[in-house]
Amino acid sequence: MLHYIVKRVLEVIPTLFLVTLFVFLFVRLIPGDPARMVAGEDASAQQIETIREQLGLNKPILTQYADYVGGLLHGDLGTSLKTKRPVSFEVGQRYWKTMTLALVSLAWSCIVGVLIGIWSGRNKSKWQDYTGMTLAVSGISLPSFWIGFIVIIIFSVNFKILPTTGASSWKSLVLPAFTLGTGIAAIIARFTRSSILEVMKEDYIRTARAKGLKEKHVVWTHAFRNAMIPVVTVAGLQFGHLLGGSVVVESVFAYPGLGSLLLDSINYRDYPTIQSLILIFSLHFILINLIVDILYAVLNPEIQLS
């Protein structure tokens, strides 16, 4: 197991290098001049050029990239062009709000998705199966911003029981977490159903039934663990999508997380903040993939041999 973990960690290093390169080049492709944004609309050409020199934007692109990577190796994410404060400070203020939103969304979507998937899989071609899969297809099909507007109208405007914006209390998490997790719950439900149906065809399931075990015992004791292997992979990858999807949901609910910070930074052409946030989102994907691979190997040790 240790050899497998070390091998997977070493494989992450070239991926990290490519991510920093793509993030750096992608941000440079965004239209607009950050020096002009900092200088203001009425600034002269000389003032803009002075600011461009102060920000290092007049250096060759390779030198800028080398400075960027050098800063990252020293834990320096740069200084925000908009607030003039360290990007790490700006990110730190909002990071845990987005992580809390993503974790709450993932938690309820995993529980509900797995239960609906097992419920559907155990009752294949019955009304329970059709109901569960109809809910799943609806959850996948509906865009998150539309779900957000609907729940705001129902729970905030009509019933007035939950706030529409901000992050002042746990109540502020309910609607954004529901909106963000709906699509993930639907995807997990479909994967769980398919996985349960596959596992229930295995010989050891027939053997368990032949021994006279109750169906509930067969499902939860013998089928559940093996059926969860692909579901764990999907849930892990969807966590990365949750962080990316938070950009839209945080905008709908005016939630002060990394997503809303990214949109503000793009509008201001705040290069250091944009590339830091994209890098953070990408790092989450890489780390989640790494954790999922290790969990996968724990659930099925034969993977290490392959």
Q: Which residues contact 32 (CB under 8 A, 6 or more apart)?
A: 269
Number of neighbours of residue 174 by Cβ within 10 angstroms: 17
- What are 86's strand-pairing partners? 79
Measured CA angle at 76 (ends 52, 274), to 5 deg: 60
User: Torsions phi, psi of 86, nearest 5?
Assistant: -55, 140
User: What's this model's pTM, rounded to 2 decimal places?
Assistant: 0.78
Sign of CA pseudo-dihedral 86, 30, 287, 101 = positive
In whole angstroms, give the CA distance from residue 225 to residue 208: 15
The pLDDT of residue 141: 87
User: Torsions phi, psi of 237, nearest 5?
Assistant: -65, -35
pLDDT tens track for 250-300: 888 888 888 888 888 888 778 888 888 888 888 888 888 888 777 777 766
pLDDT tens track for 225-249: 778 877 877 887 777 777 777 788 8
